[in-house]
Chains A and B, each alone.
Chain A
Amino acid sequence: MSEVRAAIAIARKELRTLRRYPLQSINTVAQPLYQFLIPSVLLGSTFMVAGRAVGFQASAGTADISGFLFLGAFMGGQVGAAFWGSAFAFRLEMMSGTLEPAWLTPTRRETFVVGYLLAWLLVQVLGGVVLLGIGALFFSARFFGAALAALPALLLVEVGLVGVTYLVASAVLLLKEANFFVDSTNFIFSAASGTMFPITVMPALVKVIAFLLPTTYALDILRSQALGTRLLLPGWSEYLALAALGLLALLAGRWTFARAERRLRRSGSLGQY
């Protein structure tokens, strides 16, 4: 119970810091909109025949380009929270010299990671809902009611994202200057999950990676409920794959984080950056 309270306290501290930078919060919504969604929707318009996305209907199973992309951006935000939440927070703590004192408190190290993720997930979910609203209002995307049916999948995917956060946190702690690593892996992870296009058009190797990511299944279920696209796996097996891969990611993340922490203790390099 005390660890839960600690995680909430850490999340509140993160949220307080984020509130001091309003432009950054606005960018949670604005950045995906102008950097990914609008260019992608406009690229899609270039291929339209008499106002219909005939090609996209064939490859994605829906002609609703905006709906497809806005749901992808929603999931991309969750992935971004998993990658950048802990990376930003750890980096900031390292640079301001507060990481070592924070780790001397009786709170478990793993709780810090969960606290950071909680704060960023909250921001990203709120930003994602605003994005979906913009999609529905201005881009005629149709998804809201049906997307609620995919709520269990959206909750289940968070287990896997906690695991991913542990893995990223380990990399940041060991690499020290990990911006490029986090940025590039976040991009690949997000794209391979199918946020920007259906995985049917991916090269074979990327397809294999896509099938190993829990986010691929969560997004697939979400789109299937909201847009009526065909599921990658039949029926409940998609939920099973999502749960199993999420659990695997969590275990791998915890194990890696514990190893990274032990290595930092031995080398005494926690305060270095």
Chain B
Amino acid sequence: MRTAIADLRALSAAARKELRVIRRYPALWAGMLFWPVMLPAIYVLQAHAYAGGDARALAAFLSRSGTAQLAGFIFVGWSVYMWLSLSLWGPGTALRQQQVQGQLEAVFLTPASRAAVLFGPVVAYLSLTLWMLLVTGLALRLAFGVTLDAREVGQALVVVLASTPAIYGIGALFSSAVLRLREVNGLVQVVRGLFTVFCGMTYPIVILPQWAQHIAYGLPPTYVIGAFRLVLLSGATLVQVAPDLLILLGSGAVLCLLAALAFHASERYARRGGSLVQF
């Protein structure tokens, strides 16, 4: 019991430290105002170009996507992209940052639980995620007239909760891999690219070829985007998206476990090779 309390305190200290660092970079907050609005807005304009005011093109979109809310469809997809980006650039690179700054060895010398070191940044970045989702919601309402009622927002928050272990599990797993491979930028692009291509951020999964759909349904972000779109744009209830949420919770548990194992393996590798301070 005492160990668990000490671990929780260590986790909270790691999260507070990360929050303090985030607070010192106002450009990060400015980015959180700019990108959640501008990135999807550009794709909304692109979608308008594809529609070209032709009723047949709009009908084709409606039949394939299941919604006529073009802006909402694209904003939801890109908000998950932003969330993944935050997870990869934040918690995903936190260990590597500490390694580059020469703090990782010192942190490992403390009796703090490794789980606190690995998942501490995750807790801190949740605040940025909620801020980003708020900005996205406001942009949808103010610029595109998409209104969301309290029930839809509440359901979306449940989806956020169910998706959090999976999204940050990906970030933590990535963090452990980066510690070993020591290449951040290129790897972030590759992992993010994989999700962007297969998970349906700008398009409905049904238009992918069969083999690509199989890959898409093996990736948790596909279910996050699907569940968000269903509860926010198609009026679905939580019961209707329950299978997606269960898949997300299950994959979240597996990813977090894999991340802990990978972290353990990376640490052992670094200890043996004495590479904790190398970068």
Residues in chain A within 8 A of chain B (CB atoms): 21, 23-24, 26-27, 30-31, 33-35, 38-40, 42-49, 53-60, 65, 177, 179-180, 183-184, 187-188, 191, 196-198, 200-202
Given contacts A35-B196, A54-B57, contact A43 B46 (CB under 8 A): yes
- 15 additional A-B residue pairs with CB within 8 Å, beyond A54-B57, A180-B34: A23-B186, A30-B190, A33-B193, A34-B193, A35-B189, A39-B202, A42-B207, A43-B46, A46-B204, A46-B207, A47-B47, A55-B52, A56-B50, A65-B50, A183-B31
18 CB contacts below 8 A, A to B, read A21-B186, A23-B186, A26-B186, A31-B189, A33-B193, A34-B193, A44-B50, A46-B50, A47-B50, A49-B56, A53-B50, A55-B50, A55-B56, A56-B57, A59-B51, A196-B45, A197-B42, A201-B48
Interface pairs A-B: 10 shortest CB-CB: A23-B186, A55-B52, A55-B57, A34-B193, A58-B52, A59-B52, A197-B49, A47-B50, A42-B203, A180-B27
Give the distance in Å from the alpha carbon of A46 to the alpha carbon of B77 in the complex. 15
Task: Find out whether the CB atom of B202 lies under 8 angstroms from the CB atom of A55.
Answer: no
Q: Shortest beta-carbon distance, B276 to chain A, in Å?
A: 23
A-side contacts of B68, CB under 8 Å = none
- B208 on interface, CB distance cutoff 8 Å: yes
Query: Which of B59-67, B128-136, B265-273 binds A?
Result: B59-67
Count, A-B residue pairs, CB within 8 A? 135
Given contacts A39-B196, A43-B43, A43-B46, contact A54 B38 (CB under 8 A): no
Residue of A nearest to B57 (CB): A55
Task: Find out whether the CB atom of B186 lies under 8 angstroms from the CB atom of A196.
Answer: no
Task: Find out whether the CB atom of B61 lies under 8 angstroms from the CB atom of A46.
Answer: yes
Task: Find out whether the CB atom of A46 lies under 8 angstroms from the CB atom of B52.
Answer: no
Q: Given B27, B34, B46, which contacts A179 in the complex, CB threshold below 8 Å?
A: B27
Q: Shortest beta-carbon distance, A71 to chain B, in Å?
A: 15
Give the distance in Å from the alpha carbon of A21 to the alpha carbon of B186 in the complex. 9
Q: Given B30, B183, B194, B203, which contacts A180 in the complex, CB threshold below 8 Å?
A: B30
Give the distance in Å from the alpha carbon of A198 to the alpha carbon of B46 in the complex. 8
Task: Find out whether the CB atom of A46 lies under 8 angstroms from the CB atom of B27.
Answer: no
B-side contacts of A33, CB under 8 Å = 193
Residue of A nearest to B28 (CB): A180
Chain A CB count within 10 A is highest, among B47, B49, B185, B187, for B49
Q: Given B34, B185, B204, which contacts A184 in the complex, CB threshold below 8 Å?
A: B34
A-side contacts of B42, CB under 8 Å = 187, 191, 196-197
Task: Find out whether the CB atom of B52 lies under 8 angstroms from the CB atom of A24.
Answer: no
A-side contacts of B45, CB under 8 Å = 196-197, 201-202
Task: Find out whether the CB atom of B186 lies under 8 angstroms from the CB atom of A24.
Answer: yes
Give the distance in Å from the alpha carbon of A92 to the alpha carbon of B52 in the complex. 44
A-side contacts of B189, CB under 8 Å = 27, 30-31, 35
Q: Given A49, A53, A187, which contacts B38 in the complex, CB threshold below 8 Å?
A: A187
- B201 on interface, CB distance cutoff 8 Å: yes
B-side contacts of A200, CB under 8 Å = 49
B-side contacts of A47, CB under 8 Å = 47, 50-51, 57-58, 60-61
Give the distance in Å from the alpha carbon of A60 to the alpha carbon of B196 in the complex. 25
A-side contacts of B47, CB under 8 Å = 43, 47
Task: Find out whether the CB atom of B53 lies under 8 angstroms from the CB atom of A45.
Answer: no
Q: Given B28, B51, B57, B203, which contacts A39 in the complex, CB threshold below 8 Å?
A: B203
- B197 on interface, CB distance cutoff 8 Å: yes
B-side contacts of A44, CB under 8 Å = 50
Given contacts A34-B196, A34-B197, A43-B43, contact A54 B49 (CB under 8 A): no
Task: Find out whether the CB atom of B193 lies under 8 angstroms from the CB atom of A54.
Answer: no
- B54 on interface, CB distance cutoff 8 Å: yes
Q: Shortest beta-carbon distance, A213 to chain B, in Å?
A: 15
Give the distance in Å from the alpha carbon of A201 to the alpha carbon of B39 in the complex. 16
Q: Given A42, A56, A191, which contacts B52 in the complex, CB threshold below 8 Å?
A: A56
Which residues of B5-33 have CB atoms within 8 Å of chain A's CB atoms?
27-28, 30-31
Chain B CB count within 10 A is highest, among A26, A34, A183, for A34
Task: Find out whether the CB atom of A59 lies under 8 angstroms from the CB atom of B56.
Answer: no
Interface string of B62-102 (1 = CB under 8 A from A): 00110000000010000000000000000000000000000
Task: Find out whether the CB atom of A45 lies under 8 angstroms from the CB atom of B49.
Answer: no
